[in-house]
Amino acid sequence: MNRPRLVTAALRGAALALGGLLALPALAQEWPAKPVKLVVPFATGGSADVFGRILAQRLQESLGQSFVVENRPGAGSIIGTDLVAKAPADGYTLLVMSNTHTVNESLIPNKPFQLMRDFVGVAPINASDLVLVARTALPHGNLGDLLKAAKAKPDGMTYASSGPGTPYHMAGELLKVMGGVKIVHVPYKGSAQARTDVLGGQVDMMFDAIPTMVEQVKAGKVKAIATTGKARSAIMPDVPTANEAGVPGYEATIWLGVMAPKGTPAAVVNKLNAEIAKITSNADIRRAWAQQGSAAVTMNVEEFTRFLNDDIAKWANIVKTAGVKVD
């Protein structure tokens, strides 16, 4: 090839490269050009559903496009999550996820997807402590008495959860290990059904997110036994932490975030991260969520990715050490 042709080819290549770079911000500006689906792989009424809908409403307001929540519960979040894993990586199908997903990486290894292989982290939403509640007729009003009764009669009590690997399940398993007791796990397809059966007295107890259970406690429909944070909940200050009440070092939380199918354009992921950060940094949102017992969390994409990898490693160690298995 002669020199003029080489120069022409080089200029053409440079133009194509520049065009590709210019297309990235253009893509971010154009997105979203149609409705966006937020898949919640849990049943209605739980934390992921409640806060997912708040997030969808706020994103709709800020971006001027419809954000539609679609609940796809089942198999401990696997059904809905797999649906998103197989969706086009174009920013129009997103996953509202929780630490159920980081737990399931080790608890349920034979899934049709792998979290960090098939998804990209977008942004966290918030984190909440849990509360251990018991049916009103259960004679034990504090954690010490409950554990004493459970030790005296192994497998004589039951605890409900919203399914294998969920924070409610793992909080129960952690209590069994650290409290030295045997309590029967009763998994449900969603937290609403589990909550209903504890309220109805069919199951003895469950761990639940404070924002979704606090009103039931205030109404006297269940007994609050202990909360699971490092410090007492600001909205349930009379309820001791599990650490205070007889299980030193006990701590469990539920956190929520957003992920997208792997391959979603970085420009879209970064734009969505920035929009969610505006929401979780909003003073009114932070105040409202704090009054419900939930703390808004803000991270950039890189920070959230590191957080996800660290949480997967943490739970893999706990699952192995505690010998937790899917029922």
259 lies in the same domain as 114: yes
Please state the domain count of the chain. 2
Question: Does residue 196 belong to any structural domain of this protein?
Answer: yes
The pLDDT tens digits of the residues spanning 240-288 come to 999 999 899 999 999 999 999 999 999 999 999 999 999 999 999 999 9
- What are the structure tokens assigned to 118, written together? 């098939």
More confident site: 24 or 132: 132
For helices 301-322 and 167-179, what crossing angle results, to 10°? 40
Domain residue limits at 183: 129-245
Above 80 in pLDDT, residue 92?
Answer: yes
Is 4 contained in some domain? no
CA distance 216 to 277: 31
Q: For position 194, what pLDDT does the model report?
A: 94
Is 60 inside a domain boundary?
A: yes
Confidence of residue 23 (pLDDT cuts 50, 70, 90): very low
Q: Which CATH number fits the domain that encloses residue 141?
A: 3.40.190.10
**What does pTM read for this prediction?**
0.83
Q: What is the CATH number of the domain that holds 106?
A: 3.40.190.150
* Over residues 155-164, mean pLDDT: 94
pLDDT at 19: 55
Mean pLDDT of 311-317: 92
Give the Cα separation of 168 and 111 in Å (integer). 20
Residues 192 and 221 in one domain: yes
Mean pLDDT, the chain, rounded, equals: 91
- In this structure, the answer to whether residues 141 and 238 fall within a common structural domain is yes
Both 264 and 168 in one domain: the answer is no
Residue 11 makes CB contacts below 8 A (sequence gap 6+) with none
